[in-house]
Structure 1
Amino acid sequence: MKKKVLIFDDDVNILELCSIILNECGYEVETSETSHDIIEKVEKLQPDAILMDNWIPDIGGIEATRLLKSHPKFNHIPVIYFSANNDIKSLAEMAGADAHLAKPFDLDELENLIKTVLVD
């Protein structure tokens, strides 16, 4: 069965690019341009991993990641925090993310990071 990745980003170009790359790697990909309903989306889609942008409406990536990580049913889902911020590492730590990826990113780097967090 295909692993599912849920991507939260308000930039449709990033969503499209990541979707194409991850689909080619054999993942099922779902996307969202907002994060205020993260728990509902995760409940519905049951992703195996999440890519979370920092600057996403309405509540932002940090708050959305914290909501997910504080939820007993979903806190096991790995979150990769990705942003163009130069302090991405500290933002990811504040959010409680499992990993981080700086934008712009190398496509191989994205693939490898997804593989790493999805290791069973």
Structure 2
Amino acid sequence: MNKKVLIFDDDEDILAICTYILEEQGWQVSTFSNCNSIIEKVESIMPAVILMDNWIPDSGGIVATQAIKQQPKLKHIPVIYFSANNDIRSLAQQAGADSFLAKPFDLEELENVVNHSFVQNPTLH
């Protein structure tokens, strides 16, 4: 079973918290603090779920998510958009993300949205 999650966020504290929580849930976590060479990064890991921050350097989460969703062999991977923006829902839609998670988030909410994205996509396991 492919329980790999890839997290793009430039906040080291968020990366550390998410890594800890998701590893406790049995996920294999990989993180990046920028979205440079986004396609190569995703292809090298082929995660079951991606968490994408809106304000990720250099191109930003919208452009990075759109790039992933334009790739035939990556577009099936659920992208969970997460940000502290008030308009997170519209940003996630603009990016083409599959779901979203508003920051700050409850740790149980993080677990639920990641696990739900995984279960909803049977092509990944």
**Following superposition of structure 1 onto structure 2, how do residues 47-58 of structure 1 map, counting pairs within 5 Å?**
47-58=47-58
Structure 2-normalised TM-score? 0.94
State the match for 2:86 in structure 1: 86
- Does structure 1 conserve the Cα–Cα contact (< 8 Å) formed by 2:50 and 2:80? yes
* Whole-angstrom distance in 2 between the partners of 1:72 and 1:2: 19
Structure 1-normalised TM-score? 0.98
State the match for 1:18 in structure 2: 18
- Does structure 1 conserve the Cα–Cα contact (< 8 Å) formed by 2:2 and 2:48? no
Identity of aligned residues (%): 62
- Does structure 1 conserve the Cα–Cα contact (< 8 Å) formed by 2:2 and 2:47? no
Deviations 1:31-55 (A, max 9, x none): 0000121100011111110000000
Deviations 1:60-81 (A, max 9, x none): 0000000000111100000000
State the match for 1:42 in structure 2: 42
> Which 5+ residue runs of structure 1 have no aligned equivalent?
none
Deviations 1:59-102 (A, max 9, x none): 00000000000111100000000000000000000000000000
State the match for 1:104 in structure 2: 104
Instruction: Supply the AA of the counterpart residue of 2:101.
Output: L
Instruction: Supply the AA of the counterpart residue of 1:6.
Output: L
Instruction: Supply the AA of the counterpart residue of 2:27.
Output: Y
* Whole-angstrom distance in 2 between the partners of 1:38 and 1:70: 12
Instruction: Supply the AA of the counterpart residue of 2:79.
Output: V
State the match for 2:71 in structure 1: 71
Matched, 1:114 2:114: yes
* CA RMSD between the two structures: 0.7
Q: Which runs of 4+ in 1 moved over 2 A?
A: none
Q: CA deviation at 1:2?
A: 5.0
> Which 5+ residue runs of structure 2 have no aligned equivalent?
none
